[in-house]
Amino acid sequence: MGVGKVITGAPIADKAVIKIATYWISSNSALIDDMLPRKDWRISLPDDVHINGKYLLVSNHQSWVDTSIVQYISEKRLPLTRFFTKFELIYIPIVGQAFYFLDFPMMRRHSKEAVAKNPALQGKDIEEAKRACALLKDKPFTLLNYLEGTRFTKAKHAKQQSPICIY
């Protein structure tokens, strides 16, 4: 995907994009430090977790700042966090292109009705997830997945009758 000489397994373009993303996350983290009330977060990670590893992080989506908080917490502890996004976000200037160049899995979700009308759509989301994961195969990463696929609410939790929940 990247253009340029390969350095330790990653093209120069990939390293440049990662550097820009890391700067962006650091800037967001500085804003969180300055703007949020004093926090008493207790972060504990296993001893064998490192910045060059490959991790799957599973979470519930509770607010619009979830991803920024995950990146804040994982900064300098875990590899760059990527997450499953809606394909339509590619059209947001700068952000959409960043998602693309950072190999974020960009999902096109199809309704049951759309799949019924066009059975070829079935399984396309799995194909995209596999394609995106293949791009990350040789890179350190933290892949964040909001399994609910949408924002968590107490009402949704009650309707699903899920046995586990942290409010």
Residues 85-139 have pLDDT tens digits of 888 999 999 889 888 888 888 888 888 899 999 999 998 888 888 888 898 888 8
Mean pLDDT over all residues of the chain?
Answer: 81
Q: In this structure, are residues 85 and 99 in contact, taking their beta carbons and an 8 Å threshold?
A: yes
Question: CA torsion 20→25→31→33, rounded to 10°?
Answer: -140
CA distance linking residue 35 with residue 48, whole number of Å: 32
List the domain boundaries for the chain. Answer: 6-160
CA distance linking residue 130 with residue 136, whole number of Å: 10
Query: How crowded is residue 80: how many other Cβ atoms within 10 Å of its Cβ?
Result: 20
| Closest of 29, 86, 82 to residue 56, by C-alpha | 82
| Reported pTM | 0.71
Instruction: Give per-residue pLDDT as tens, 143-166.
Output: 988 876 555 677 877 887 766 555
